[in-house]
Amino acid sequence: MCGICGIHAPGRVDPEVLRRMNRALVHRGPDDEGYYTDERVGLASRRLSIIDLQSGHMPIANEDDSVWVVQNGEIYNFRELRADLETRGHRFTTRSDTEVLVHLYEEHGSDLFSRLRGMFAIALWDRRRDLLLLGRDRVGKKPLYYSFDGRTLLFASEIKALRQHPDLDVSLDWQALNHYFSHHYVPEPLSIFREVRKLPPGHWLTLRGGALEVRPYWQLDFEHPRSETDEGWYMEQLREKLRDAVRARLVSDVPLGAFLSGGVDSATVVGLMQQLLDAPVKTFSIGFDAESFDELRYARVVAQAFGTEHHEEILQPDATDLVAKLVQQFDEPFGDPSALPTYLVSQMARRHVTVVLSGDGGDEAFAGYDSHRVQERDERFHRRVPAPLRALASGGLGLGARLSGQARWRRMARAVGRAHQPLPGRYSNVFDPGGRRRLFAAATLEQIGSMQEHEVFAAHAAAQRYPDFLSRVLAVDTATYLPGDILVKVDRMSMANSLEVRCPLLDQEVLEFAASIPSNLKRRHGVSKYIFKRVAEGFVPREIVHRQKHGFGVPLGQWFRAELRDLVREHLLHSSNGAHVLFNRRFVTHLVEEHEAGRWDWSVQLWALLMFHLWYERHGPQTRS
């Protein structure tokens, strides 16, 4: 687990700029640093030592120093790959997973990525071919940003490293701004900066002779569901694949444990860990001092059932101080408030271990979100009600909501307005198009142009011939929300505490098998994650398996009327930072005052605004890192 960065330039690479880039990533790898430079390329890495603590120094080269590599992540099948490469005559000088990459490249070229099982962002330089190759894991667990101006290519694990280069253009990307206030994150391949892009999950990038190419090497296949009808067969296959995915992620030369939220996903991971380990699993849970947001009692049920070495904290944090810490870590505005508890549980876990396993990915793979039920309901409405009637109902309820101001009318208007849209248009969960037209200042709207921000979602929704609607929704979630929100949150908050997080439910074989399971075994008779829960019933307490799903919640609504009230007013209403010119102040004031008065819960929208303003002050276009 590391941070990586590099420069490909037609002239001499400035080693001091490369050092500054690498130092910006020290939190990702506090144990070691390394550099390689020649007349065209500079590679650098920060290392958090997990495997081969003594000799895994990066960058690593092949036998004749013609191929060099740096990586961020872990390759779980590196021992099998190494054994095969040794039979082909390759010589190794370390026990690290990184050294496998240079020899695998010598054998397979850019096809090496399809042979890797793990989470990774990799940069490889082939001096003889004058070829720079970048690659990112299949679902985007590890980040990789790049900027190319036609001559110089910069890449790094985080934007803060790219910003150490004096020539980087940090102009705002207006479509990315529009995306953020629609979805509370910026989806791949965009970033908040116009000249910075994210390498999408499951893609590689090459730069050779001044020509840059980005191509996919993997896509999750929903087109070919299995035809087996025996539910027991699916359970047996899934049980073994989950067990194998957990087993692969227990390889470590440092202490490891697990996040335990009290939900079925993390409970399943912990249960499988306990079956595979001789010693009690170290588990970590947190809760807030607010009953409706406290999941600790469910986590205790799991910990007691499996006999884990359990650690928990009830947190009454300084919310203002914690918000400042979050903004420091996110190089783009990021509006998912569950980053707060993720940061805190990572901080607690790091005091005891260096690696944790988590249950992330189960909802995307097995249809566990409440939104999946809502999406199916909206789709039925959209298909059965003619467009003119949908438009009439949406407009009438919207007018009723504006005239009455009643919460009941607002909820109905929002639901019908969402269902009126085709699938890609239903993914706005912060401000819908009408809300964004009220939010943005006239000059911002002019820069944005069209409010159609769903092209990214539409592309994934149309990427395959899906057998049913639920498969289409899961494909879009896996390609957008998972890498753009969930995995960004987990990576940044864990790396801020120099903690590695591994996700067995996002294992390639688990995901590919899950995609092939017919949808009627994922949602059956109103039960979400049906087949997954049937497997979990074999060893996870039933009250955990069948309890209603709860997210990693934060009492934002309360905080905005108490602990964070002054911070919100200071930055959203009274500050004169450059971000204010982007917004309609009258509308923002309306949101703040209506929320404080308790007339409507605008906590999601206010959090997105607050995080943007704080991000803009620290990382925005007017600042240089």
The CA-to-CA distance between both ends of the chain, in Å, stands at 24
Alpha-carbon Rg for the chain, nearest whole angstrom, is: 24
Say how far apart CA 541 and CA 380 lie, in whole Å: 35
Say how far apart CA 564 and CA 600 lie, in whole Å: 17
The strand pair at 500-502 and 355-357 is best described as parallel
Q: For 458-614, list the strands marked E by DSSP.
A: 500-502
Among residues 302, 310, 282, the alpha carbon closest in space to that of 541 is found at 302
Contact between 243 and 272 (Cβ < 8 Å): yes
**Cis peptide preceding 59, ω within 30 of 0:** yes
Say how far apart CA 10 and CA 32 lie, in whole Å: 29
Q: How many helices (H) and strands (E) does the chain have?
A: 27, 17
Look at the alpha carbons of 334, 335, 336, 337 in this order and tell me if their dihedral is positive or negative: positive
Contact between 77 and 65 (Cβ < 8 Å): no
Among residues 338, 322, 332, the alpha carbon closest in space to that of 612 is found at 332
Contacts of 128 (CB under 8 A, 6+ apart): 66
Sequential DSSP letters for 226-238: -----HHHHHHHH
**Residues with catalytic annotation?**
2
Q: For 228-289, list the strands marked E by DSSP.
A: 256-259, 282-288
Type of residue at 72: N
Contact between 123 and 204 (Cβ < 8 Å): no
Buried-exposed string 347-357: b where 16+ CB fall within 10 A, e elsewhere: bbbbeebbbbb
Contact between 283 and 307 (Cβ < 8 Å): no
Helix (H, G, I), strand (E, B) or coil at 9: coil
DSSP alpha helices (H): ranges in 307-406?
319-329, 339-350, 362-366, 370-384, 387-404
Contacts of 319 (CB under 8 A, 6+ apart): 559, 563, 564
Contact between 439 and 431 (Cβ < 8 Å): yes
The phi and psi torsions of 126 (rounded to 5 degrees) equal -105, 105
Say how far apart CA 511 and CA 477 lie, in whole Å: 13
**Cis peptide preceding 189, ω within 30 of 0:** yes
The H or E element spanning position 107 is helix 98-108
The strand pair at 32-37 and 309-315 is best described as unpaired
The phi and psi torsions of 573 (rounded to 5 degrees) equal -115, -35
